[in-house]
Structure 1
Amino acid sequence: MIDTLLFDLDGTLLPLDIEIFTLKYFNELCNKFESIFEPRVLQEAVWASTKYMICNTQKEKTNKDCFFEDFQTRIERNLEELFPIFDEFYNKDFVNLKDSVNPNPVVKESIEILKDKGYNLVVATNPLFPKEAIFHRIDWAGLNADDFKLITTYENMHYCKPNIQYYEEILELINKKPDNVMMVGNDVQEDIISSKLGLKTFLIEDCLIDRKSPVYIPDYRGSISDFYEFVNELPRLKNKC
């Protein structure tokens, strides 16, 4: 029986155009580091180190460890000099991206219903960002971070989507079996891949991403409004998890 729902963030809990969001993200980041890096150099280094982080399968290294391990090889600056600037960027400058998202009140209503019915909730966003950046986006969606049993960030996770180990790690952290869990997301290859472990899946189509390969078939699919109706039909849990 399903008693836990995992939610992707960007394009699912928080509707957005990922291309516009990414463009604005790099504009803000490059402005922050303009006295240190040329924009092209910084952007290429961040993309390359992000790819390195996504490809990591060494469980002893967090995603953050992997990112900066590779980033250091691509720059001629000491990381200790850069960490405070990154921290300030994600705490302060990152909020300038808020105008590039389109929060949907139906998301908040769905989460409220699930909370009331006693379901465990997890933000299973691709952990490419630090906690601060992810918590900002949860807030922009009109949600409260305290409502989630786990929020995946690059500090607390050791794998990224679409690695299946990412979902295995979540199940381990929340002590749940696949039969008890549903993944809700808008990206076929990154979110619906969780079905390989036996999780039920719901594909949100409002901001659909489908690269066509590999092919994964969700158990349910529809708009965020369809998901709201789905949530209304879920049973109330007798014993809250």
Structure 2
Amino acid sequence: MDTTPVRYIFLDYDGTIIENAEGEFLKEYFSLLSKKSGIEFNQLFQLVMSSVEESIRNMQPNESLFEKFSKAISSKSEKPKEYWQNLFYDFYENEFDELSKIVKPNIELIELIKKTNKKVIFASNPLFPKIATHKRIQFAGLEPDMFFYIAHMENSTYAKPNPLFFQEILNKLNISPNECVMIGDSEFDMSSEKAGIKFVHIDEVEKWKPIF
């Protein structure tokens, strides 16, 4: 049995750091983005989500998810990449802050994050750019500098459930999966085990509390 102590804690966001399910967050997100863009809710939802799915399927190793997404949404909408990048960045700079009102932080977990001497890795699916990811962390009552590494759209090539998402972080940080644990709420998070990182479900409080 491997007795290597845990030094790195990978954490999911939706359903883990915050109690909200991903669907709840996305509904409010697309309502705000629809008003901002002037594109009808369902049309915008289909466009963005199909572009996200295409970027996740794109296994090109030398392009970030942000680049993959920008190309996908541009080709599907016949609007240039720059149009979408400007729209999203402006949205994240301004209207996105309204989403903080619906966030329900997992207080027990957040207090442990603040106190731990372990290195905490933000391993939510990297489907938001850096500006939005940092704001999501702040919505939960945390600060980006509390994390040893933060995965986001610009610094990630792959997304969960692809185990290469986890492998890329291990490689970047030059750490062993035996030193790590992934805490999350879904099968996407459980794909960490294919990269050798033990998975603990957020409901298993008695298992993850002592890790901190």
CA contact (8 A) 2:183 2:208 kept: no
Amino acid at match of 2:35: N
Residue 71 (1) aligns with residue 73 (2): yes
Match of 1:25 in 2: 29
Residue in structure 1 matching 2:202, options 201, 204, 215: 204
CA contact (8 A) 1:9 1:124 kept: yes
Aligned length in residues: 208
Q: Deviations over 1:131-154 (max 9, x none)?
A: 111111111111111011110000
Amino acid at match of 2:60: Q
Match of 1:56 in 2: 58
Secondary structure at 2:116's aligned position in 1? helix
TM score, norm. by length of structure 1? 0.81
Residue 134 (1) aligns with residue 145 (2): no
Q: Deviations over 1:82-105 (max 9, x none)?
A: 422211101111111122221132
Q: Deviations over 1:43-77 (max 9, x none)?
A: 22101100011112111110001101111111132
Match of 2:89 in 1: 87
Shift of the alpha carbon at 1:227? 5.5
TM score, norm. by length of structure 2? 0.91
Structure 2 residues without counterparts, runs of 5 or longer: none
Structure 1 residues without counterparts, runs of 5 or longer: 206-221, 235-241
- Judging changes above 3 Å, is the alpha-carbon distance between structure 1 residues 164 and 113 closer, same or farther for their aligned structure 2 residues? same
Shift of the alpha carbon at 1:181? 0.8
Match of 1:122 in 2: 121
Separation (CA, whole Å) in 1 of partners of 2:210 and 2:34: 42
Secondary structure at 1:24's aligned position in 2? helix
- Judging changes above 3 Å, is the alpha-carbon distance between structure 1 residues 82 and 196 closer, same or farther for their aligned structure 2 residues? closer
Separation (CA, whole Å) in 2 of partners of 1:134 and 1:7: 13
Q: Deviations over 1:167-215 (max 9, x none)?
A: 100101111011111111111x21111112221221113xxxxxxxxxx
Secondary structure at 1:84's aligned position in 2? helix
Aligned-pair RMSD on alpha carbons?
Answer: 1.6
Rg: which structure is higher? 1
Separation (CA, whole Å) in 1 of partners of 2:120 and 2:115: 11
Residue 143 (1) aligns with residue 139 (2): no
Separation (CA, whole Å) in 1 of partners of 2:75 and 2:112: 44
Secondary structure at 1:121's aligned position in 2? strand
Separation (CA, whole Å) in 2 of partners of 1:127 and 1:79: 19
Separation (CA, whole Å) in 1 of partners of 2:71 and 2:84: 13
Separation (CA, whole Å) in 2 of partners of 1:69 and 1:27: 23
CA contact (8 A) 2:200 2:208 kept: no
Separation (CA, whole Å) in 2 of partners of 1:111 and 1:14: 13
Residue 166 (1) aligns with residue 175 (2): no
Separation (CA, whole Å) in 2 of partners of 1:136 and 1:160: 20
